[in-house]
Amino acid sequence: MRIATWNVNSVSARLPRLLEWLSSARPDVLCLQELKCAADAFPVEEVAELGYEVAAHGTGRWNGVAILSKAGLDDVRRGLLDQPGYQSQDALLEADEPRAIAATCGGVRVWSLYVPNGREPGHAHYKYKLRWLEALRATAAEELTAERPFALLGDFNIAPTDSDVWDIAKFHDSTHVTDAERAALAALGEVGLTEVYPRALKYDIPFTYWDYRALAFPQNRGMRIDLVYGNDSFTSTVADSYVDRNERKGKGQSDHAPVVVDTA
């Protein structure tokens, strides 16, 4: 089975490239993040022509996640266990953001995740990010009680190590690299998950994100923040994993590249 994850940074803006990539890469399951569209506005008919069922979770603003599958789409779940909401300074109520969706595809339990950015340490959004990650850990622990292959895939907005950013000195006092965020990733290991590390096709570190600005992509000033974690039943079957860096090239591209995992 081929399972992939991709932050498309607007599914409507990226639809031609999405359809082309589905046709060429032919994943059995694709986890998408940052849809920026409501669930009922997702281009279901277009991807159905390529053989995919869709489970989407979005409100039409920022965020939004989906799972596309040719291998079945059972037991769909939207949102984490006790998932926290975020209350911005200009909002009176907490918003329950669409950042997590799960489904069982061909016997594999898959979560598509879009972890909050955090903005900056000390910001309310950063505190929300840490609460959200704790809800993710609790959700994973709950779901791992079922004996089946299990994987978390998505944009984690965390670089696991200093080597996973192009220049750690540029990230002083920044989110994505703080001890608290990295400790939240380590907590996934405590419940029985390990990372599937993709092989590097061109550079030593398989970055997955490059800013649109300042020629970041041509100069490979990137970050590795799109990650895959699985239980032993999942990771033991992994035959290959890589970042499709070519999909970051050209016009109309996302600022993220897909991460692809092939299982035996």
Q: Where in the chain are the domains? A: 2-263
**What's the pLDDT tens digit per position in 107-165?**
999 999 999 999 999 999 999 999 999 999 999 999 999 999 999 999 999 999 999 99
9 is in an annotated binding site: no
- CA-only gyration radius of the chain, Å: 17
pTM: 0.96
Q: Which residue has the tokens 């959004």?
A: 125
Element (H, E) at 126: helix 124-143
Q: What is the mean pLDDT of the chain?
A: 96
- Selection from 69, 64, 60 nearest residue 79 by Cα: 64
For residue 195, the number of C-alpha atoms closer than 13 Å in the C-beta half-sphere is 18
pLDDT tier, 5 (very low <50, low <70, confident <90, very high otherwise): very high
The whole-number pLDDT of residue 61 equals 78
Residue 40 marked ligand-binding: no
Instruction: Give the C-alpha distances (Å, rounded to integers) separating 145 from 46, 111, 154, 186, 234.
Output: 36, 15, 22, 19, 14
Does 75 belong to an annotated binding site? no
Buried residues in 18-50 as b, exposed as e (16+ CB within 10 A): beebbeeeebbbbbbbbbbbebeebbbebbeee
For residue 89, what are its two tokens?
A: 């300074």
Distance between CA atoms of residues 136 and 221, nearest Å: 29
pLDDT digits (tens, 9 = 90+) for 59-108: 987 899 999 999 999 999 999 999 999 987 666 566 889 999 999 999 99
Helices 124-143 and 179-190 pack at an angle, to 10 degrees, of 10
Asked whether residue 157 is marked as a ligand-binding residue, the answer is: yes
Q: What is the DSSP letter of 136?
A: H
Say which residues have a Cβ less than 8 Å from residue 180's Cβ, sequence separation at least 6: 130
7 is in an annotated binding site: yes
Q: What span, in angstroms and rounded, lies between the C-alpha atoms of 81 and 17?
A: 33
Give residue 172's pLDDT: 85
Q: How far apart are CA 2 and CA 148, in angstroms?
A: 17
Q: Which residues, 6+ apart, have CB-to-CB distance to 224 below 8 Å?
A: 159, 160, 164, 165, 205, 206, 207, 208, 209
Two structure tokens written together for 33: 């993040």
Q: Residue 126 and residue 118: Cα distance in Å, rounded? A: 4
- Catalytic annotation, residues: 114, 155, 256
246 assigned binding-site residue? no
Give me the CATH code for the 2-263 domain, please. 3.60.10.10
